[in-house]
Structure formats: structure tokens, C-alpha cells
Amino acid sequence: MNAIISASELASASAGENPPVLLDVRWQLTLAKTPGELPFDGRKAYEAGHIPGAVYVDLDRELAATPGSRGRHPLPDLAGFGAAMRRAGVSSGTPVVVYDGGQGWAAARAWWLLRWTGHPDVRVLDGGLPSWEGPLETSVPTPAEGDFEPVPGATGLLDADGAAALARSGVLLDARAGERYRGEVEPIDPVGGHIPGAVSAPTNDNVGADGRFLAAEELRARFKALGASEGTEVGVYCGSGVSAAHEVLALAVAGIPAALYVGSWSEWSSDPSRPVAVGPDPQ
């Protein structure tokens, strides 16, 4: 099954006999704002207009636990995550389509969590809400309670030690912008640089100017040039396990399984005992 779906495919599926549950996960990373400027409000954006039938999911509250020593977006409490998914109408036997405002990071985080916890049929709307050409609605639906019970997967998840080991034994991709990888700037975390051995692979290079994923063959060529191909053990991290989920999704489109280091740089850099590399060289 393809991990992404086009807007036209979604329109057809929604009109079919087994329409997907739609999750709206609009979210933006909030950095320093000008005085008086309010942070992005995903729920407000949702209420102003969303794909008909879509239910809003809050990334910070429902797809992550409270920030702390495990990073800015650690894994959510699974009982709470399952309850949130059931409230949204998610059942194990019903397909799910997730979208966000177009960047794809937040939608990919929801996709990854649902896949990692055992949902068999989850896809991300390629290009997000901007790709949707149908009508929008402002009414908030009340779906029937779903039956999804999250069961964590045995693979696909890395902790800090696992990420460090994979950087030596396989391929560990750093999905952040190149300047953060090199340690030239660090707007969020206490230390700049990267996990020793990790390869710079900015998430933005997985999509075209329209925000949609490159073709599968282009993605395979990109990742092969970075050392990641089918049969290679691959892991991904970013700042806090959100944009890295988008890279895991891109790898899935390319047919390459990959694990996610959820704690990512926000966890790694908060531990002074962890080594830090700077500059363009992985080591």
C-alpha cells in the first residue's frame, strides 16, 4: 500500500463504500515571535475551514507527551493516544487519511504513530490541505467512537543509544536543515551540531516546489546517494521527532523501511555526556 494519497484519490475514496477517517493535524513549529504576535493555532485554522468530515488532532497534546528530558515531542502516553484516535473515529478496520497545512511534518507524525502502533491502513494527503480542490466546511463533526487499540511495534523506534549504534552500523539520517546539522546555527536546542556518524539529509529535499513528494524513483536515487537503500538498516532523527517522521514517510514512498529516533536532537543535546560533531563531515 502506498503511504501517500493524492487529492483526487482522496475525493474518490471519500465517495466510496468504505470512506477513510480524516484527521486534520495542522501544526507549525513556533519559534521566537515579534512582540504581540500569537503562536500558530491549529484548531483555529481547522475551525475556519477543513475537508468535510475531518476531525482535528492536536500534535502537541495528543501526538506527544509533555516536553522534558526525553525531548520536545516525546512519545505520547499510549492510552491517551488511543483514546484520542477512538474519539476521532479511528477503527482498526477503517482506512485513515491524515493531512496538515501543506508542510507534511505533522501529518507524517500522526501517520508514523498510527503505523507504529499497529494500524494497517494509513496514508498522508500529498501536498496537504493546499492540494485539496473540493469544498471546505466549518462545522465540527462528531464521529462514531472507533475501536482502535494501539499496540507498539517491536521495530521502527530508536532511542539515543540505538541511534548512536546505528550511525556506526548502518545509516542514520539527520533531517534538519544543513546549517543546524553543521552547528552553524541552533535556534532551539542548547547545543549545535549532529550525532557523530549521522548523514545530513534535509527533509525539504524530499519534496518539490509544490510541497508534494518527489517521484518514488527520484527519492530512491536521493537516498541511495546518501547511503540508504533497500536492505540497509536506516534510521532518522531531527529536532524533536516531527520532521524526521516526514523523512521516514519519504523513505517509505521510496520502498525503504526506516526507524525513527523520536527524542532526536532535543533529547540528545540535553545530555552533556553525549558526543557532538560539527561541520559537514559526519564524524
Active-site residues: which are they? 238
Extended beta strands in the chain, E state: 4-5, 21-24, 55-56, 96-99, 122-125, 157-158, 171-174, 199-200, 234-237, 259-261
Number of other CB atoms surrounding residue 98 within 10 Å: 28
Give the Cα separation of 122 and 98 in Å (integer).
8
Query: 63 with 240: CB under 8 angstroms?
Result: no
SS (H, E, C) 126-184: CCCHHHCCCCCECCCCCCCCCCCCCCCCCCCEECHHHHHHHHHHCEEEECCCHHHHCCC
CA dihedral 118, 257, 13, 133 (to 10 degrees): 120
Give the Cα separation of 154 and 31 in Å (integer).
34
Coil, strand or helix: which one is 70? coil
Give the Cα separation of 18 and 29 in Å (integer).
34
